[in-house]
Chain A
């Protein structure tokens, strides 16, 4: 099975974030990056499918030079090769424009399956996989937490709201958007890291891939979120703050 895994590189989860000077995005000076969590699970799901079924896993990532770190990590974990769509300021593209780019690269490969995370930790629109499937003319299944081959297609387990699940059968080729927790994430081994150095990374310029790619729903500005509640922050060393909290819960909120 030929599998393309579309990965996004995002600012690392624990980063302290400040708005950029133009407030269109966050300040990325000194930012640390990581593979978007749900995409890391998509990669894991792809690698496990390949290990069971045979085939090939191709990592696909769009972004500036910094994303080569995410690509190396995917290769070190076991992806066979990678495609880097060179793109400055990926945050300026909406989901439709991003999906158009990814789809151009997917068409060049003609895989059986495209996997990607269900949403990104930065923009969090949760659309890229679904839109890509539509542009490719393929079926999709979202919120996938389990994949098994069935006949010529797949039988996947998908999550519904409120603790419900359902199985869905889909023919191939298809796009699946992967929910976090589908499998235990592996670490790259030393051997994997060594091998990654000799694996192929094909670089395509975004403008070459798609000379016209308009974003119709751009971010105009970022702002601090408005608080819905007046939070009482209990100050002091842990013992003091804890004692204040117990007092508040007993006598003010009356929930103890």
Chain B
């Protein structure tokens, strides 16, 4: 099968999930006796596309048009619709990034196809490919089969495939011209910005104590702060705590917040939805305290205590003082 992996730029380089998607594309090509290619989009992507010429691919497609910079869903959809018409891939793979979420399903829908998002694994079964993706916030995984004509659209979850598994080789860069009328782009994106006020660099912290939905009241964060103090740790949180306004967004760990990899990460009352896990699963030692033994956080934890955090956290503060 012909597999096309769509790469994503970020800050002058490549989004780390791009190479992971490329590794997934090579593997999917291998199990279906096909070849993988990469696609790079931009105003003038030829030079950037050469970054992928050192991998074992059929080719790198440089899809260029001035309207592709800055990114809009309208322009990317129009460009890839045309490129897919030319290249006729069987599968189109994307890294499961915010950008892919913004235009991938739109592109698939334009071609009347479903889009299987956030895939963590795939395998061949009964002469077809079965894709696995998390459901119920990671409590279960679902096996999904795509019916109907190619191309089939799939996005690959960050961390599910290894960027260093991309097989080296060499391939040619091929320029693909597309036509996108300026009026096809209906939205006007502004410059990305960051809110610096009160920003905390959690990535520099050696130890982090993170609070989640299990913390029922803002005043209970005092207990979390005391635990952090006893551990010499920074306080962080999962999304619901920041949504409630109890902690600033700058202390949020996860796909919409910071990605951290401290020596010690203590998750208190965090169930471990995938959006949180992608931001912390690289931590060296992970401790989870949660009342639900089935919570997905225990799938990544080294040590776990199943219990009421309102009993466990004070006991832990006490044990740290006396220990």
Is A222's CB under 8 angstroms from B114's CB?
Answer: no
Contact call B186/A216, Cβ cutoff below 8 A: no
Q: Categorize the interface residue count of chain B.
A: 35 or more
Name the A residues within 8 Å of B186 (CB-CB): 139, 170-171
Contact B305 A217 (CB under 8 A): no
Which residues 76-133 of A have a CB within 8 angstroms of B?
Answer: 94-96, 99, 118, 121-127, 130-131, 133
Q: Which residues of B from 84 to 134 have beta carbons under 8 Å from A?
A: 97-98, 101-103, 105-106, 108-110, 112-118, 130, 134
- Nearest residue, chain B, Cβ from A215: B114
Chain B residues whose C-beta falls within 8 Å of the C-beta of A163 in the assembled complex: 194-195, 199, 249-250, 252, 256-258
Query: What separation, in Å, do the CA atoms of A221 and B147 have in the docked complex?
Result: 15
Stretch at the interface among A58-66, A202-210, A224-232: A224-232
In chain A, what residue has the closest Cβ to B309? A238
Residue A250, interface by CB 8 Å:
yes
B135 near A222: Cβ-Cβ < 8 Å? yes
Instruction: Give Cα A94 to B308, complex, Å.
Output: 37
Of the candidates B187, B256, B303, which one forms a contact with A169 in the assembled complex, judged by CB atoms under 8 Å apart? B187
Residues of A within 8 A of B136 (CB): 11, 17, 26, 121-122, 124
CB distance from A233 to the nearest CB of B (A): 5
Closest chain A residue to B128 by CB distance?
Answer: A220
Please, which residues of chain A bring their CB within 8 A of the CB of B147? 216-218
Q: Is A1 an interface residue (CB 8 A)?
A: no
Question: CA A219 – CA B320 in complex, angstroms?
Answer: 47
Complex interface bits, A127-164 against B, C-beta within 8 A gives 1, otherwise 0: 10011011100011111000000000000000111111
Q: Which residue of B lies closest to A157 (CB)?
A: B190
Which one of B97, B194, B296, B308 contacts A164 once the chains associate, using CB atoms below 8 Å?
B194
Contact A227 B319, beta carbon cutoff 8 Å: no
How many pairs of residues, A versus B, come closer than 8 Å at their CB atoms? 263
Question: When A124-B135, A234-B304, A245-B305 are in contact, do A99 and B257 touch as well, CB less than 8 Å?
Answer: no
| Interface 0/1 of B199-210, CB less than 8 Å to A | 100000001000
Report the Cα distance A226→B311, complex, angstroms. Answer: 29
Q: Which residues from chain A contact B281 at a C-beta distance below 8 Å?
A: 228
Q: Does A190 contact B (CB under 8 A)?
A: no
Q: Which residues of A contact B97 (CB under 8 A)?
A: 161
B299 touches A229 (CB 8 A): yes
A231 to chain B, nearest CB (A): 5
For chain A, give the interface size range. 35 or more
Q: How far is the CA of A142 from the CA of B106 in the complex (A)?
A: 12
Bound-state CA distance A92–B218 (Å) is 39
Contact among A131, A168, A232 with B105 in the assembled complex (CB-CB below 8 Å): A131
Main SS at interface, chain B: mixed
Given the interface pairs A139-B186, A217-B116, the reply to whether A238 lies near B146 with Cβ below 8 Å is: no
Contacts of B303 in A (CB 8 A): 231-234, 245, 248-249, 253
* A256 in complex: contacting residue of B191, B231, B252, B318, CB < 8 Å: B231
- By the criterion CB–CB under 8 Å, are B105 and A164 in contact? no
Please determine whether B193 and A165 come into contact, CB atoms closer than 8 angstroms: yes
Q: Which of A11, A125, A134, A229 has the most CB of B within 10 A?
A: A125
* Chain B contacts with A in 182-226, Cβ cutoff 8 A: 186-195, 199, 207, 213
Q: Give A200 to B315 CA distance when docked, in angstroms.
A: 53
A161 engages B255 (CB within 8 Å):
yes
CB pair A168 B305 closer than 8 Å: no
Asked if B48 lies at the interface with its beta carbon under 8 angstroms from chain A, I say no
Q: Is B54 an interface residue (CB 8 A)?
A: no
* Cβ B315 vs Cβ A142 within 8 A: no
B187 and A139 contacting across the interface, CB-CB below 8 Å: yes
The 8 Å CB contact of A162, one of B118, B258, B264, is B258
Query: Least Cβ distance of B319 to chain A in Å?
Result: 4
Pair B135/A218 contact, Cβ less than 8 Å = no
* Pairs across A and B, CB under 8 Å, 25 listed: A26-B136, A124-B118, A131-B108, A166-B192, A180-B243, A217-B146, A219-B142, A220-B143, A220-B145, A221-B142, A222-B143, A225-B140, A226-B299, A227-B299, A228-B300, A233-B304, A234-B303, A238-B312, A238-B315, A241-B305, A241-B307, A243-B323, A248-B303, A249-B285, A249-B287
Residues of A within 8 A of B (CB): 11, 13-14, 16-17, 19, 26, 94-96, 99, 118, 121-127, 130-131, 133-135, 139-143, 159-171, 179-181, 184, 215-229, 231-234, 238-239, 241-243, 245-250, 253, 255-256
Other than the given A126-B105, A166-B189, 7 more pairs (CB < 8 A) read A11-B136, A130-B103, A134-B77, A143-B98, A180-B239, A241-B305, A255-B285
